A = this chain, B = another copy of it.
Amino acid sequence: MNLNDIVKIPLFKSLKPSEVESVFSAIKLTETNFAKGEILALQDEPCNRLIILLTGSVKAEMSAPSGKVVKVEDIAAPNPLAILFLFGQNNRFPVQATALEDILALVIPKQSVLKMLSMNETILTNYLDISANFAAKLSKKLHFMSFRTIREKLAMYLLSLAQQNGSNVAELDRTKSSLAEYFGVSRPSLERELTNMQEDGLIKSDKKIITLVDINRLKQLIDF
């Protein structure tokens, strides 16, 4: 792996070439391939290494013994896997990670991660920042789940989508099926609520393009 690729990894962002060299010579790390469909980490497996995706992506699911799954999120290169759970007393993967495509990954043992963090402050701040971002995502998801009605969830979701665009149009970034799954509701219920909201003059829904018609009322839904 060359230097250009390395500094593209968030954990190694802003590292000077000399730092990369000294850090990488001090730690153990291996590059590993995973085929599509292969399991990178089992749920509840001890989490004793950091896995950083170099290419490809994984889906992270929480599963109960006989098959029911809760999808948490997809993680794509060049992001790390389960970075939040690497340390701690009973540190286990909270999800099962399955390769969505062929994957090349960097695997670093826990001890080496610790070594890196204490020897280089840039890596330390990167690590803390990345962790905080994942925590924020987790927390956001939890907040999201706390919205009671589908309408509220949609208002929240659409507003933040439109805000990213800087417009009053939200273009869905995934299928409505997977959106329903993300919301934790059934697909027909999600469709129905989109229809209802259109009838109520809140939005205009056309395929994946949702136009926010009455932004104030949408904001009211989630603001109080």
Contacts and interface: CB of A to CB of B under 8 A. Distances in A.
Interface of A: 62, 64-68, 70, 72, 84-92, 94, 114, 117-118, 121, 124-125, 128-133, 135-136, 138-143, 145-148, 152, 184, 221-224
B136 A94 contact: yes
Given A118-B124, A124-B117, A135 B62 contact: no
Interface of A is mostly: helix
Given A85-B132, A131-B84, A132-B85, A66 B139 contact: no
A65 B155 CA distance: 11
Nearest to A224: B66
A64 B139 contact: no
Given A131-B131, A132-B91, A65 B147 contact: yes
A143 B62 contact: yes
Given A62-B142, A136-B94, A87 B128 contact: yes
Nearest to A47: B132
A145 B164 CA distance: 27
A87 B223 CA distance: 26
Contacts of A133: 88-89
